[in-house]
Amino acid sequence: GEDVEQSLFLSVREGDSSVINCTYTDSSSTYLYWYKQEPGAGLQLLTYIFSNMDMKQDQRLTVLLNKKDKHLSLRIADTQTGDSAIYFCAESIGAGNNRKLIWGLGTSLAVNP
């Protein structure tokens, strides 16, 4: 079935790079997303990647997609305390009225000073 998996926790030191990993099962996914959620808040779109790309860079964020292994990663360079949050990976599958997002459970990133 459709499934997206992420590790639940990651702890890094301020200034280091963070790498959050995600695996998915549906090979027909069209877009893959990374969202950030701060405590008590809604989800904020960080970035997305189309399934025919293997890398996307946006300032401190780098997304890598390995379609063969169905593996997606989000790298945050120079991680700051403000990056502490839960990061959700999601894949878009289906088409038209049947299009939906399949969500991971989220990775809680703790940034230590």
Residues of this chain that interact with another protein (CB under 8 A) are 30-31, 33, 35, 40-45, 48, 50, 88, 92, 95-97, 99-101, 103-106
The nearest distance, CB 95 to another protein, in angstroms, is: 7
AA letter at 50? F
Distance CA 21, CA 37 (A): 16
Cβ proximity to another protein: between 19 and 105 the closer is 105
Cβ proximity to another protein: between 40 and 113 the closer is 40
Distance CA 53, CA 3 (A): 21
CB 9 within 8 A of CB 107: yes
Q: In this structure, how many other beta carbons lie within 10 angstroms of the beta carbon of residue 2?
A: 13
The nearest distance, CB 90 to another protein, in angstroms, is: 8
If phi > 0 it is left, if psi is from -120 to 50 it is alpha, else beta; for residue 70 that is: left
The helix or strand, by DSSP H or E, that contains position 21, with its residue range, turns out to be strand 18-24
Cβ proximity to another protein: between 12 and 101 the closer is 101
The nearest distance, CB 101 to another protein, in angstroms, is: 7
Cβ proximity to another protein: between 76 and 89 the closer is 89
The nearest distance, CB 98 to another protein, in angstroms, is: 9
